[in-house]
Amino acid sequence: MSSELDPPQAGEAYSLYFQEEAVIRQAETMIGKLDEVSDGVRTLADAYRLGYRETARLVRISDRMQLDLHEANRTLTAQAEDLKRLNGTLRKEIERREQLEQELRRIASVDELTGTHTRRHLLELAEHEQRRSARHGKGLVVLMMDLDHFKRINDRFGHAAGDQLLRDFGALLRSSLRKGDIAGRFGGEEFLAVLPETDLDTAEAIANRLCDRVREGRTQWTGQFLSVTVSIGLAGTDGDEPLDRAISRADQALYEAKSAGRDRVLVARSGPG
Amino acid sequence: MPTAFAYESMDTLFLQRTERSPLLEFDFVGRRLRIEGESYPEDAAAFFGPVLKSLESYLSELSVQRPSSPLRLELRMAYFNSSSAKALMNIFQMLESAARQGVPVEVHWYYDPEDETMQEFGEDFSEDLEYARFNLHELEAQPS
């Protein structure tokens, strides 16, 4: 940068006051620059003020949006808590209903008095067993049982005594069968058992043993010992025979056992058809 | 806006917590300042203005006194809006400049361990402080 205080160049008129003039020129230049600086500072201040106003406005907008969000958030939190509470109540209600359902299912499937299956549940299980047997080509045996002269017990000792006999027979029946055998109360003093994958001889042996145990058994009733006998009709099926047909054949054998003097086991030897 | 229970004496500045403004307790004698709760006052300038003013005059006194034990600011914020953030930054700046002049200053930022936002805000604020000591603390779990 050339100094303003340089002596005049060749061709330029010489002045005695060149130095003073140079100082004036420099001072004038600097004044111009000062103006530039002050303009620059003014521009900066303006820009800063503008920026600051914008920031303040943005903060105000942001506050307002945050307020909305905060309130929405609080509403959501409250709603979430409500939902949680409702869910808890619902869960309890579901549990209660499931327990109720289980209880109902138990009531529907177990005969209260004898602890054996109810007729409906027994038939369901038996149908299932029959289908399984048919699939595997294996036979099953149906036992129809009826307590002999049961009406006399009821008439002489009352229904409570009859109930006690039924209870005891239920226990004997259950303990006489094997795991996987199905037994249920078919109605009144009539019982049905289904013995899957069993041949007729085995089933007959089981039925005879039950018949013996019932005859030998005693039910204690208000200081007396009551006894009862059972008649049993058996029918075997090779798997293809529908269950109700096998049941009606066993029922026929039971009828024959009754006719032949009761307290015995009779096998329906004739096959299906 | 509910009227807050408040008093100001030579020794203490106390503002009770409201739905939209934090609890604020400045114990000038014990040199313990405390701000706690949620802060989104309707008029942040009106709420924080007097607070900033009394803090400023207190700090200028302290700059002369040069106490040996530190001035302690404890913050337990659950929520604050942008204007309150600006007010907090003003407070930090005032404390930082007092610290630069030789007043020992400690800032303690407490946050709920499940509140990541407040933790991050604390970390963010700490970056602006050089002379004032900034400490981050997890709040103890509240017994339910």
Condensed to tens digits (0 to 9), the pLDDT of residues A119-129 reads: 999 999 999 99
* 3-state SS, residue A80: helix
pTM: predicted TM-score of the whole model, two decimal places: 0.59
Which amino acid, one-letter code, is at B107? V
Quote the pLDDT of residue B3.
45
CB contact under 8 A, A59 and B79: no
Which residue of B lies nearest to A58 if distances are taken between CA atoms? Answer: B82
Tell which residue, B98, A16, A18, has the closest CA to residue A5. Answer: A18
Q: Is B14 on the interface with A (CB under 8 A)?
A: no
The pLDDT-based confidence of B100 (bands split at 50, 70, 90) is very high
Enumerate the residues of chain B whose CB falls inside 8 A of the CB of residue A54: none
- How large is the average pLDDT for residues A93-121? 94
Q: Check residues A136 and A78 and name the one with the higher pLDDT.
A: A78
Radius of gyration (C-alpha) of chain A in whole angstroms: 53
pLDDT digits (tens, 9 = 90+) for A22-74: 888 899 888 888 888 888 899 999 988 888 888 888 898 899 889 999 999 99
Q: Where are the domains of chain B?
A: 6-138
Quote the pLDDT of residue A268.
92
- Whether pLDDT at A9 is above 70: no
Q: Is B44 on the interface with A (CB under 8 A)?
A: yes
In CATH terms, the superfamily for domain A119-268 is: Reverse transcriptase/Diguanylate cyclase domain (3.30.70.270)
CA dihedral sign, ordered A236, A239, A241, A242 = positive
CB contact under 8 A, B40 and A62: no
Residues 87 to 116 of B: which have CB under 8 A from any A CB? none
Q: How many beta-carbon pairs below 8 A join chains A and B?
A: 20
Quote the pLDDT of residue B140.
85
CB contact under 8 A, B40 and A59: no
List, edge to edge, every strand of the sheet that includes B6-8. B6-8, B12-15, B23-27, B32-39, B71-80, B105-111, B133-138
CB contact under 8 A, B83 and A59: yes
- How large is the average pLDDT for residues B82-90? 93
Residue A242's CB is within 10 A of a number of other CB atoms, namely: 13
A20 is catalytic: no
In angstroms, the CA B67 to CA B65 distance is 6
B interface test, pick of A57, A66, A68 with most B CB neighbours within 10 Å: A66
- Whether pLDDT at A213 is above 90: yes
In angstroms, the CA A180 to CA A196 distance is 7
Q: What integer best gives the mean pLDDT of chain B?
A: 90
Assigned token pair, A197: 């994958």
